[in-house]
Amino acid sequence: KMAAAAAGSLRRAGWRLWRGRAGVRCQLSPPQRPLQASAVLRRVSDEQKKEPLASSSQQQFDSHPTDHQPEQEPQGPRPSYTGQGGQESEDYESEEQLQHRILTAALEFVPEHGWTAEAIAEGAKTLGLSVAAAGMFHSDGSELILHFVSQCNTKLSELLEQEQKLVQLGEAEKKPTDQFLRDAVEARLRMLIPYIEKWPQALSILLLPHNIPSSLNLLTSMIDDIWHYAGDQSTDFNWYTRRAVLTGIYNTTELVMMQDSSPDFEETWRFLENRVADAMNIGNTANQVQSTGEAVVQGLMGAAVTVSSAETSRAVR
Amino acid sequence: AFAGEVSLRLCSTRVALEGINKPVIDRIIRVDHAGEYGANRIYAGQMAVLGRSSVGPIIQQMWNQEKDHLKKFNELMVAYRVRPTVLLPFWNVAGFVLGAGSALLGKKGAMACTVAVEESISDHYNSQIRTLMEEDPDKYKELLQVIKQFRDDEREHHDIGLEHDAEAAPAYSVLKTAIQLGCKAAIFLSERI
């Protein structure tokens, strides 16, 4: 964090020298971003606070800038700016963390504006940033959707972890696999309910070529998480089969949910139950097929041995 | 950036996944698991042909050790949440065919195959030990112990193979080179796929 702060302050000092005036705080944009300034504009009063500090470009901000407001006494070794509702200044936060904060704030506005730059702009406003902060992101809302999916996955993992702890402590019963899978998928899909109107739009954006690696990655790690907590310990090809099957169940249930208008999505959960039951049956059927196959092979081997020993005894005679 | 957001958390089987170099450990465990699985199948193939011959008991003994190795890697795979290689069904067949094929060349052929494979595997384990030592010998102490032990076992198998006239096998050097090339390819693929 110190290194980030130092880098940040040096960067700002550099930008300041380069741009010649203290109007705009620019962040270094990663190469794949479009040719935007990627400026995070703060309110003018903030700028005035930042200026004297950045020009000193010290790692430890021990000197008090002259126009510091009274409530900003340093706490501990570093001064903390309490200008915006008690939030720590951006000096001590990386760009990525800021982006996460903006996207999280933007989620509130998705039901109204969809997965768009408008929602991000509104989110940025609630954090006290300029609406131009939305310029940090792609215009199609990809990052917002991926951020949301990632957040949901994290919540699901935490939920499953907690459940597992309860089982380990003996405070809860261990669920049978089919029920565990049903509950996990239902819990995860329920997180979509507040955004369900705009979710079809999100799904189509997630399928765009430039998003596929990320969305696929998020999907596979979520499915892997669910199987892990379900107690899957397979180390053979079953590892793949199980995950493929569950991915299919999850995706189809998600699509059914988009079309479902029943109260509290009962139709969806019933669909889910049936799909999981089917999957369990496939497992059983596969085993049955295998044992039948083995029995057939043994029968043939037995027949072969009988025939060959009959031949041998006939040849001997 | 979003790939990195999915954070690793302490898993139920009590291995702390935080702080380890997951990509490196993933590869190591995946390829070692594939290797032990393949070795199992090779010995199974050899036993299918030479099970009732004079070298049967020795091959059985080496096979039993490989079974233990595989069991250990199955445990490590679950503990570190590593995915197995997709090519397992392929190694299943290829290993058996190699074992049975080399055994059909005779006892010395089977021993030559053992020497070639075990040499490949112990070289491979050695380079993994080097990698882990370079990373952090303390963090990976348990894994290092396991790999060192297994490397010693494989070396022993290699020596047993030599003791049983592997070098007198038909076209020994050609056989050995071909098998080791195959092993290199298998290692390369299993690390990645």
CATH value at residue B101 = 1.20.910
d(CA B2, nearest CA chain A) in Å: 6
The answer to whether B122 and B180 are in contact (CB under 8 A) is no
* DSSP type of residue A161: H
d(CA B175, nearest CA chain A) in Å: 30
- Domain presence at residue B118: yes
pLDDT (mean) for B48-57: 91
Measured CA distances, B121 to A26, A314, B58, B118, B128 (Å): 54, 50, 19, 5, 10
Q: Which domains does chain A have, with CATH numbers?
A: 95-139 (no CATH), 142-288 (1.10.357)
CA nearest neighbour of A215 among A139, A146, A156, A141 = A146
The whole-number pLDDT of residue A62 equals 43
- Domain presence at residue B23: yes
Query: For residue B9, what are its two tokens?
Result: 């958390």
d(CA A240, nearest CA chain B) in Å: 8
The answer to whether A124 and A105 are in contact (CB under 8 A) is yes
Chain B residues inside the 8 Å CB shell of A224:
81, 83
Choose among B6, B11, B74: nearest Cβ to A235.
Answer: B74
Cα distance between residue A217 and residue A198, in whole Å: 22
- Domain presence at residue B46: yes
For residue B156, give its domain range: 19-191
**Chain A residue with Cα closest to B76:** A235
Query: For residue A16, what are its two tokens?
Result: 């300041």
d(CA A216, nearest CA chain B) in Å: 10
* pLDDT one-digit tens code per residue, B6-44: 333 334 444 667 788 889 999 999 999 999 999 999 999
Cβ distance A217 to B6 less than 8 Å, yes or no, reads: yes
Choose among A96, A213, A233: nearest Cβ to B78.
Answer: A233
Residue A15 CB neighbours (<10 A):
18
Query: For residue A148, what are its two tokens?
Result: 């949301």
Cα distance between residue B143 and residue B26, in whole Å: 12
What are the strands, taking DSSP E only, across chain A? Answer: none
Cβ distance A214 to B3 less than 8 Å, yes or no, reads: yes
Dump the DSSP string for B91-107.
HHHHHHHHHHHHHHT-H
Inter-chain Cβ pairs, chain A and chain B, closer than 8 A: 45
Choose among A96, A168, A221: nearest Cβ to B1.
Answer: A96
Burial class of residue B65, CB neighbours in 10 A (0-12, 13-18, 19+) = middle
Burial class of residue A268, CB neighbours in 10 A (0-12, 13-18, 19+) = buried
Cβ distance A161 to B3 less than 8 Å, yes or no, reads: no
Choose among B2, B12, B88: nearest Cβ to A150.
Answer: B2
Burial class of residue B22, CB neighbours in 10 A (0-12, 13-18, 19+) = middle
3-state SS of chain B: helix, strand, coil percent to 5? 80, 0, 20
CA angle B144/B147/B148 to nearest 5° reads: 80
Q: Is the pLDDT of residue B98 over 80?
A: yes
d(CA A236, nearest CA chain B) in Å: 6
Cα distance between residue B34 and residue B28, in whole Å: 10
Cβ distance B81 to A224 less than 8 Å, yes or no, reads: yes
**Chain A residue with Cα closest to B7:** A154
Task: Work out how many domains chain B is built from and give that number.
Answer: 1
- Domain presence at residue B2: no
Choose among B2, B11, B78: nearest Cβ to A214.
Answer: B2
- Domain presence at residue B182: yes
The answer to whether B78 and B23 are in contact (CB under 8 A) is no
Q: Is the pLDDT of residue B68 over 60?
A: yes
- Domain presence at residue B103: yes
The answer to whether B125 and B86 are in contact (CB under 8 A) is no
d(CA B33, nearest CA chain A) in Å: 9
CA nearest neighbour of B107 among B64, B158, B156, B47 = B47
> Does an H or E element contain A219, and which?
helix A212-230
Cα distance between residue A2 and residue A65, in whole Å: 20
State the pLDDT confidence band at B159, using cuts at 50, 70 and 90.
Answer: very high
Query: For residue A78, what are its two tokens?
Result: 């570093």
- Domain presence at residue B106: yes
Chain A residues inside the 8 Å CB shell of B12:
164, 168, 228-229
Choose among A146, A236, A237: nearest Cβ to B2.
Answer: A146
Cα distance between residue A280 and residue A270, in whole Å: 15
Quote the ipTM score: 0.85
State the pLDDT confidence band at B87, using cuts at 50, 70 and 90.
Answer: very high
Residues from A contacting B (CB-CB < 8 Å) are: 96, 146-147, 150, 153-154, 157, 161, 164, 168, 213-214, 217-218, 221, 224, 228-229, 233, 235-237, 239-240
Query: For residue B190, what are its two tokens?
Result: 């299993």
Cα distance between residue A36 and residue A119, in whole Å: 19
Cα distance between residue A19 and residue A42, in whole Å: 16
Identify any residues that bridge with A26 across adjacent strands, giving them in sequence order. A39
- Domain presence at residue B187: yes
As a whole-number percent, the residues of chain B with pLDDT over 70 amount to: 92
Q: Which residues fall within 8 angstroms of residue A204, CB to CB, at 6 or more apart? A: none
d(CA B168, nearest CA chain A) in Å: 35
Query: For residue A291, what are its two tokens?
Result: 């044992």
The answer to whether B108 and B170 are in contact (CB under 8 A) is yes
Cβ distance A235 to B33 less than 8 Å, yes or no, reads: yes
Residue B99 CB neighbours (<10 A):
29
Q: Is the pLDDT of residue B112 over 80?
A: yes
- pLDDT tens string, chain A, 317 residues long: the values are 555 555 555 555 444 444 444 444 444 444 444 444 444 444 444 444 444 444 444 444 444 444 444 444 444 444 444 445 445 555 677 888 888 999 999 999 999 999 999 999 999 999 888 888 888 888 888 999 999 999 999 999 999 999 999 999 998 888 999 999 999 999 999 999 999 999 999 999 999 999 999 999 999 999 999 999 999 999 999 999 999 999 999 999 999 999 999 999 999 999 999 999 999 888 778 788 888 888 888 888 888 888 888 888 888 77
Chain A residues inside the 8 Å CB shell of B6:
150, 153-154, 217-218, 221
